[in-house]
Structure 1
Amino acid sequence: MDADELHALALSRPADALRIARDVLAGTPSDAEAAAAHHAAGLVHRDFGDIREAVAELRAAYRSIRRTADRDREAEILATLGVALVMGGQTRRGLAVLDAVVPGQTGVLAGRLFIRRGWVLGAVFARFPEALADFERAVDALSGTGDLVWEARAFGMRAMALLAMGMIDPADDDYARSEELFAKAGQEVEYADARQARGAVALARGDLPAALQFLDDAQRIVEDLGVLEPDLYANKCLVLLAAGLTREALLEVNSALERSEQQGGSRARHAELLMCAGLAAHAAGAFELAERRDRDAMRLFERQQRPWWAAKAELALLETRFANGGRTAPLLRGGQRISAVLDELDRDLAAEAHLLTGRIALARKDSAEAVRHLSIAARARRGGLRTRGAGWLAQALLHQDGGRSRGMLGACRQGLSLIEIYVRTLGATELRALATAQGAELAAMALRYAVERGSGRQVLEWSERWRATVLAIPPVRPQADDGLVADLAALRDLTQRMVSSRDRGPGTSQQQRERQRLESAVRQRVLLTPGQFDERRERLRITELLEKLGDRTLVELVDLEDQLYAVIAAHGQVRLRPIGPTAVATHALSHALFALRRENARRGRHELKLDTIGARLESALLGDTLQHLGDGAVVVVPTGRLHAVPWSLLPSLRTRPTSVVPSAAAWVRAMRAEPPAVDRVVLVGGPHLSAGREEVRRLAELYPDAVVLADGSATADAVLEAIDGASLVHVAAHGTFRADSPLFSAIELDDGPLTVYDFERLKRAPHRMVLSSCSSALGGPSGADELVGLVSALVALGSAGVVASVVPVSDPATVPLMLRLHEQLRAGDGLAEALARTHDSADATSQSFIALGA
């Protein structure tokens, strides 16, 4: 095997190359053979992160090649040594080696050397125009030479510089060409690098699902090869953070950081991983850990003489200190200094630095300094996608500080519209919900202004502007994916076996690991669902809301800076009333839910006074708004943290039809919903319910034409087919709420759990649905004020109304309640009216169900 073949093997199958190199060196090689073997071993050690060993091997290669007449090979080895020195933190020395070896070279060799020096200039020193010039020379020198690997590298390196300079489409074209050439040459590791680089392009374009897909593809390849690629994990961390998947970002980057430390890897790449780990810790609220990592990364970058990276790490450090309550004069001076540094190095990052500095100045009441920096940051609102959000926030803060409320509200609208466009690029419900957090500050700023003015109408408008945003966008069904269907089926089968098995031996832990693997696979497939770009969100029109309310009263709760307010809309008027501390309401709710759980389980020796508990909850939630409720039905819009209120426990609402909705706009949409043309009722009975069979049997007598799935026929496929587009569905089954992963909340069927991921595959949700299941109304708070769970999925898919419970309920007590409920439904009542008529104040079970929607 000649030197070029061994060099290529070191980058495609490193373990094989290292074995061959050792075999060569164990014999009696010539100087040229020894140089090639040491060179290949140095490449493998470098890419595995063993920089000391790499430098030693490359110096040995240089000593061997010096004893030959092959000056071209000598230049190649010296250039590789220069790159290794840079990766080991000796950046100036490594660049000096490259600067010495490049001049005077021509042809293919010159192209290879330009690539190496350009990489150091761009990836390490962030001198992108100089790097681009080297890469242009490399592309010219290598194109059409038949050297596929180096031609692919030239295109990939040029793409790196183009992307860094904001030229996204040309960068993607170059990366695609590089990927194609690496695949043709069989270079697996570098093919994976090109794949993950395309993920960075997709992120820059704002296409998170595509970015995740590219990165997942690349990760599978490098993990199969046993190679640590720090760039991949750093990029994946940034993509996951952009998606709001903080926990996943922490796990990925911490794992990569640990492996880098164990392997003694590239100090240059180790510093970049440290900075990403700091960003992930900051996002998770672990500010002390974030500060340590930011500081360590900054010091490494400074020692490595990498000013752009050092400035980026320092900005992250200052942002962490500000988020952790720092408002000191030294912090302001730090912001001023780093803003000036980044003005010279990176305009996009400079906008973020000026925004931070302006906010620190605002917090310190230094209006003149705040205006100076916020004005600079606000210019970015007309820049690229990366900076526009920061620009609109800066503009809003600037107008707010100057008392220009109209300008502030306009900036908030523009910033929220920008984020909403981004949310639409995401297909997965989870990603959409998490992305709304980016608009929370803008929405709160406008809402605070409306509350201070005491305008109920304005508070309602701004509350609705960023409430239940995900539900206002038509859902994107997961792509037709046999793999997703198969993984969901395997997960049901495994869960069923785990439930039925009483074995607590070694097999149990193995089953748990397999369940985690399957859940991860399902979640990952759905996260890759692309969004739809041409949808328009319909805004709430308050005049239409007041018209549709008729004799009803709408109460929308608003949580602003831990204070609860109520907006009351009724009889053509909108009022605003302060309630009190949010903490009082959440504490009263926790007490009420505990009481219902205990009474339903019949575990307490003494009967709790539910009337007293309900009255306390009513006071904490509604305050003196009761005088504005009138006598008619009530529509309640709770906050995310208060979504699980048992409203019939409140004395004033006990016998009053009460509908619960995630937003006023969602209620209006539900009121417009047309029932299916064909009246089709579906009754589903799950296993292991003490009274489930009786419940379904009795209901079947009320609905003789109903589709009945029970006693073994209630399988996932059969249930999904039957309920798709049905007019009314009743499910009597055990329900589980997964606080750790709400989209795996499920109802138990004969062949295992039917999760939210399964429901999202429906073409059309049932028009109305009764979930006679434990805790089926619960959702997981996410993003700004979103809920992720079974009921929210049904509402998003188009269900007009759902009856569900907020706590575990008693099976036997549920049967008579459900029979009474359906008798009222058959008499023509809506869900809220039917539930109110079946209420029994002495029965905890009836107080555990709520009616959601219209």
Structure 2
Amino acid sequence: MLTRSVADEAREAMRLADFAAGRAAPVAERATRRAARAGDPAAGSIAERAWGRSLLQTGDVHAAIRHLRRAITLADEAASPSLAGEARIPLAAALVQRGRPHPALVEIDIAVADLTAAGHARARAQRADILHQIGRLDEAIAEYQAAIPLLRRVGDLLNTQRTLVNRGILHTERHAFAAAAADLCEADRLARDLGRHLAVGIIAENLGFLETLRGDVPAALGHLTRAEATIGAHGGQLGPVFLDRSELLLSVGIGREAAEYAERAVAAFERERRGILLPGARLVLAQAAYLDGDWARSLHQAGRARRELARQRRTEWSALAALTVLRARLAMGERVAVREVEPVVATLSTSGWPAAVLEARLMAARVSDRPAEYLAAASETRLRGPAVLRARGWYAEALRRQACGDTRGTGAAVRAGLRILDEHATALGATDLRVHSAVHRTELIELGLRTALRDGRARRVLEWAERGRASRFAHRSVLPPADPELADLLAQLRSTARELDRGRDDDRRAGPLVARQMALERRIRDRSRLGGNGGAAASMAGPVGRPVPADRLAAALGDLALVEYVRLGGALHALTVTGGRVRLHALGSLAPVADLVDRVHFALRRLARTGPARTQDAATVLMTGAARRLDEALLAGLPEVRDRDLVIVPTGRLHGVPWSVLPSCAGRPLVVAPSATLWHAASSRPAVPLGPAVVAAGPGLAGAREEAAAIAEIHGCAPLLDDAATADAVLAALPAADLAHLAAHGRLVPDNPLFSSLRFADGPVVVHDLERLRTVPRTVVLAACDGGRSVVHTGDELLGLAATFLACGSAQLVASVLPIPDVETAPLMVALHRRLVAGEPCATALADAQQAMRDAGPAALAAAAGFVCLGAGYSHV
């Protein structure tokens, strides 16, 4: 009876190892001791196997191997080849995780020979997984195809479920998405029927990986969010979820955040000694660093991954790491010979990884004297597969046509690739995903621009310049669905920020509050990105915006002049549209211009501070000189725009120019727009009389209360002041107003601009709050430090407070591009609003108000200088 009781306890430990791994180890340990006392090596083998399996599933691979080897020894003592074979199956899995795939194959081959029926089927399924992980994909598919029918025949539902997951992953990697989804969905049903909650989480993770490669980002985020919660709740390993999140973020161009998740995956795999997964995580970290422009780090991590993969004899994976090494070397200016790339192309061509094959062929074409063959092969992906892969195929086709001298065909291929990416971007929902995804457009736009510049036709250059910038503003947003969970998270964030302001000088209070704030921001960001899967990310409707034709733009401009700045490489160009004519000017290097912008900013910040007269005089001299040279660099060489009111479309650092300090712009009406297309759309709205206004003042800003009271009197409305100026009150008032004046502390968060904020009595209003409004005022004035500054991403995509108001429907906005804190802006603002009420267009009213401040002293001049009019500007408000 005792021996049977021990055997029953060992089998119970085995059951727990399969269904509740976190609870199995104590039971297995107890069964192992009882089996030893009873002299029952067979029961001991089962208990040790259960103990090893539970440790394997919860991340202690080293200890798992020790117990599984003990299980084999005990099976040999019991003269039971079948028990030994059963233990060799998880031992092989553990050895693979430690990065020892070839010893794992030896163990599994022995198991296949020793086992029959159900055991034989399980062993073949494990062999398929090992072959899959080391990159022998055709052999792996053949083993999966043999193992799954055997498992079904013997009624082994648990291992059928496991093997379906593994085959689904392989199908995903090969872009056989329908087959992958079928396998994973069947596995999910089986796992739920079997009560395997941890497995349900792992399947959700792999569904997230599937949707990442398929290009459905909101769906992928939904699966990965559920996976992280489920796996964490059941004591599973989160490293693979972190890695999949990193790859998802890479797919939409968010390099820095992708690197953070890849670092977490690397740390988890190092801690758990999961050698088979560690080099792959290093490789993803290298790819994220490359995207983020940190090429030295990319080279280091990819080189390390390549060495580890070579030791594991994983040929295809090693070639993929070698490709990343070569890309980093090229980016760092090193020479790469075609003989270094050709072996990588040859190896990856048999891998079944279409994206990797395409990138290898593009690199070979780049360094080869005969690129046509590589480009023709790379371009084959343009007709099938996920959106980004098809777009890259069109990029290859565009390069092929360019090499053949087919200028028109080059442009057509680039447009085809951009159409695919723009349609894909409309499905991404969340603002930051759409903005960062513009990185995929970069090489296509640069090719189109370079071709147009070589052709020298200004209208064609204008078309490509417009295709390359601020594409998200051309989409029409749809109000996101009501999301009580997101609203609650935003309220919690507001409360936490208020507490942090009160306790900032107390380190014991501030530390936990900062941690809570960061956690809330992450939850809000993730919730917003879910899109149609329960989040509040804005969906998009209507056709993707197209660049405004030059003739329509010229007609809308009338007597105005448009100047659009274009950068390509390190060179700066200017396009002008005046009197129906488009002209192109080469302005030279962008670097010295960017340096002058920084000098102007520095001087204005110094002028804003009270200090010795000598310091103020020096700052005045610096500002005057830098502004004059900046004027010469940007406008002096454009004689056709003289004496005309301006529409300026900046690029890069030029988004931060305080234009009113340039000598030729003093007192001159001008408006700044993210793109000519956006300006045309905003200025084409019918003029209507000025409607109701909302005026609010936040706390801690010198003179804000008096400023708000004075401006409210001009508009005949009651201001929101003191405790009444809450975030909820302001957000409730904005949709009903035609004009808003918000005098509050503004904060731009460069690393996370969707949490840029305006501070009110009960905490901040962040960008996420504004995106949930059904409408926003037609005209907005942000009398706030940093209100007009934006983070400029690839393609001059903008994120920040001002950009959000414009994206949500404001026609025009007045805000400062300078981070000057606590400056008295009331005189400028009062003068501006009096002119608006009198019927002056916004750009004219701001220019006149700024001109009136020029003799009001250094601080007042600095306060006024940073304000710009964004959007339409010349429509009557």
TM bin (shorter chain): over 0.9
SS at 1:268 equivalent: coil
Show the counterpart of 2:564.
556
Matched, 1:273 2:294: no
In the TM superposition, residue 203 of structure 1 has moved relative to its aligned partner by 0.8
Show the counterpart of 1:336.
342
Show the counterpart of 1:97.
107
What letter matches 1:261 in structure 2? E
What letter matches 1:763 in structure 2? R
Measure, in 1, the Cα distance between the counterparts of 2:194 and 2:736: 51
In the TM superposition, residue 674 of structure 1 has moved relative to its aligned partner by 4.9
In the TM superposition, residue 692 of structure 1 has moved relative to its aligned partner by 1.7
* Matched-pair contact (CA < 8 Å) for 1:806–1:849: yes
Measure, in 2, the Cα distance between the counterparts of 1:789 and 1:12: 48
Select which of 681, 685, 694 maps to 1:673.
685
Show the counterpart of 2:223.
214
SS at 2:582 equivalent: strand
Instruction: Write out aligned runs for 1:594-609 (5 A).
Output: 594-603=602-611, 605=613, 606-607=616-617, 608-609=620-621
Measure, in 1, the Cα distance between the counterparts of 2:297 and 2:53: 34
Q: CA 1:819–1:86 in structure 2 vs 1: closer, same or farther (change >3 Å)?
A: closer
What letter matches 2:722 in structure 1? D
Show the counterpart of 1:79.
89
Instruction: Write out aligned runs for 1:121-132 (5 A).
Output: 121-128=131-138, 130-132=139-141
Measure, in 1, the Cα distance between the counterparts of 2:252 and 2:11: 42
Measure, in 1, the Cα distance between the counterparts of 2:410 and 2:457: 17
Q: Note the alpha carbon deviations across 1:236-280, whole angstroms, 9 max, x for none.
A: 2211211222222222222332333234x1321222222222222
Select which of 630, 647, 656 maps to 1:617.
630
Q: Note the alpha carbon deviations across 1:618-647, whole angstroms, 9 max, x for none.
A: 11222411x211433211101132112111
Show the counterpart of 2:381.
380
In the TM superposition, residue 91 of structure 1 has moved relative to its aligned partner by 2.4
What letter matches 2:137 in structure 1? R
Measure, in 2, the Cα distance between the counterparts of 1:690 and 1:24: 73
Identity %: 32
Measure, in 1, the Cα distance between the counterparts of 2:462 and 2:593: 20
Select which of 390, 393, 411 maps to 1:391.
393
Select which of 570, 577, 582 maps to 1:569.
577
Measure, in 1, the Cα distance between the counterparts of 2:378 and 2:333: 22
Instruction: Write out aligned runs for 1:311-710 (5 A).
Output: 311-329=319-337, 332-346=338-352, 348=354, 349-361=356-368, 366=369, 368=370, 370-385=371-386, 387-475=389-477, 477-501=479-503, 503-530=505-532, 532=539, 535-539=542-546, 540-603=548-611, 605=613, 606-607=616-617, 608-609=620-621, 610-625=623-638, 627-674=639-686, 679-704=691-716, 706=717, 708-710=719-721
Show the counterpart of 2:50.
40
Measure, in 1, the Cα distance between the counterparts of 2:666 and 2:344: 60
Matched, 1:849 2:867: yes
* Matched-pair contact (CA < 8 Å) for 2:117–2:154: no
* Matched-pair contact (CA < 8 Å) for 2:121–2:147: yes
Q: CA 1:431–1:226 in structure 2 vs 1: closer, same or farther (change >3 Å)?
A: same
Q: Note the alpha carbon deviations across 1:677-734, whole angstroms, 9 max, x for none.
A: 9922111121223322222222222222x35322211111221111115211111112
In the TM superposition, residue 165 of structure 1 has moved relative to its aligned partner by 3.2
Measure, in 2, the Cα distance between the counterparts of 1:812 and 1:288: 42
Q: Note the alpha carbon deviations across 1:651-676, whole angstroms, 9 max, x for none.
A: 22212210110000010111133578
In the TM superposition, residue 753 of structure 1 has moved relative to its aligned partner by 0.9
In the TM superposition, residue 50 of structure 1 has moved relative to its aligned partner by 4.1
Measure, in 1, the Cα distance between the counterparts of 2:104 and 2:95: 5
Q: Note the alpha carbon deviations across 1:522-579, whole angstroms, 9 max, x for none.
A: 1221222247576312311221111110111111011111211111101110011122
Measure, in 2, the Cα distance between the counterparts of 1:244 and 1:351: 18
Measure, in 1, the Cα distance between the counterparts of 2:340 and 2:70: 46
* Matched-pair contact (CA < 8 Å) for 2:89–2:108: yes
Measure, in 1, the Cα distance between the counterparts of 2:625 and 2:557: 31
Show the counterpart of 1:26.
33
Matched, 1:291 2:291: no
Q: CA 1:465–1:15 in structure 2 vs 1: closer, same or farther (change >3 Å)?
A: same
What letter matches 1:318 in structure 2? L
> 729-738 or 76-85, which moves further after superposition?
76-85
SS at 1:345 equivalent: coil
TM-score of the two chains, using structure 1 as the length reference: 0.93
SS at 1:787 equivalent: strand
Q: CA 1:810–1:112 in structure 2 vs 1: closer, same or farther (change >3 Å)?
A: closer
- 5+ residue gaps, structure 2, are 1-7, 533-537, 856-860, 873-877
Measure, in 2, the Cα distance between the counterparts of 1:802 and 1:604: 35
Show the counterpart of 1:306.
314
Matched, 1:88 2:88: no
Matched, 1:817 2:823: no
Matched, 1:62 2:72: yes
Measure, in 2, the Cα distance between the counterparts of 1:533 and 1:148: 43
Measure, in 1, the Cα distance between the counterparts of 2:864 and 2:94: 71
Q: CA 1:416–1:721 in structure 2 vs 1: closer, same or farther (change >3 Å)?
A: same
> 570-579 or 94-103, which moves further after superposition?
94-103
Measure, in 2, the Cα distance between the counterparts of 1:676 and 1:220: 51
Measure, in 2, the Cα distance between the counterparts of 1:600 and 1:423: 42
Q: CA 1:712–1:36 in structure 2 vs 1: closer, same or farther (change >3 Å)?
A: same
Select which of 185, 193, 205 maps to 1:176.
185
> 676-685 or 513-522, which moves further after superposition?
676-685
> 221-230 or 728-737, which moves further after superposition?
221-230
Measure, in 2, the Cα distance between the counterparts of 1:532 and 1:736: 26
> 152-161 or 580-589, which moves further after superposition?
152-161
Show the counterpart of 2:122.
112
* Matched-pair contact (CA < 8 Å) for 1:778–1:789: yes
Measure, in 2, the Cα distance between the counterparts of 1:766 and 1:4: 69
What letter matches 1:628 in structure 2? E
Matched, 1:828 2:846: no
What letter matches 1:685 in structure 2? A
Measure, in 1, the Cα distance between the counterparts of 2:656 and 2:238: 45
Q: CA 1:9–1:621 in structure 2 vs 1: closer, same or farther (change >3 Å)?
A: farther
Measure, in 2, the Cα distance between the counterparts of 1:145 and 1:480: 50
What letter matches 2:699 in structure 1? P
- 5+ residue gaps, structure 1, are none
What letter matches 2:809 in structure 1? G
SS at 1:374 equivalent: helix
Measure, in 1, the Cα distance between the counterparts of 2:541 and 2:752: 30
Measure, in 2, the Cα distance between the counterparts of 1:186 and 1:343: 41
Q: Note the alpha carbon deviations across 1:277-321, whole angstroms, 9 max, x for none.
A: 222232333333322332332233233232222222222222222
* Matched-pair contact (CA < 8 Å) for 1:393–1:411: yes
What letter matches 2:191 in structure 1? F
> 269-278 or 422-431, which moves further after superposition?
269-278
What letter matches 2:159 in structure 1? W
SS at 1:15 equivalent: helix
* Matched-pair contact (CA < 8 Å) for 2:255–2:288: yes
Select which of 720, 735, 738 maps to 1:727.
738
Show the counterpart of 2:858.
none
Measure, in 1, the Cα distance between the counterparts of 2:498 and 2:688: 34
Measure, in 2, the Cα distance between the counterparts of 1:809 and 1:55: 61
Measure, in 1, the Cα distance between the counterparts of 2:122 and 2:540: 42
Measure, in 2, the Cα distance between the counterparts of 1:475 and 1:770: 22
* Matched-pair contact (CA < 8 Å) for 1:250–1:277: yes
What letter matches 1:7 in structure 2? M
What letter matches 2:841 in structure 1? G
Aligned residues: 842
Measure, in 1, the Cα distance between the counterparts of 2:192 and 2:254: 31
Measure, in 2, the Cα distance between the counterparts of 1:799 and 1:589: 27
Q: CA 1:750–1:45 in structure 2 vs 1: closer, same or farther (change >3 Å)?
A: same
Measure, in 2, the Cα distance between the counterparts of 1:669 and 1:229: 47
In the TM superposition, residue 171 of structure 1 has moved relative to its aligned partner by 1.4
What letter matches 1:851 in structure 2? C
* Matched-pair contact (CA < 8 Å) for 2:95–2:103: yes
> 192-201 or 484-493, which moves further after superposition?
484-493
Q: CA 1:812–1:23 in structure 2 vs 1: closer, same or farther (change >3 Å)?
A: closer
In the TM superposition, residue 487 of structure 1 has moved relative to its aligned partner by 1.6
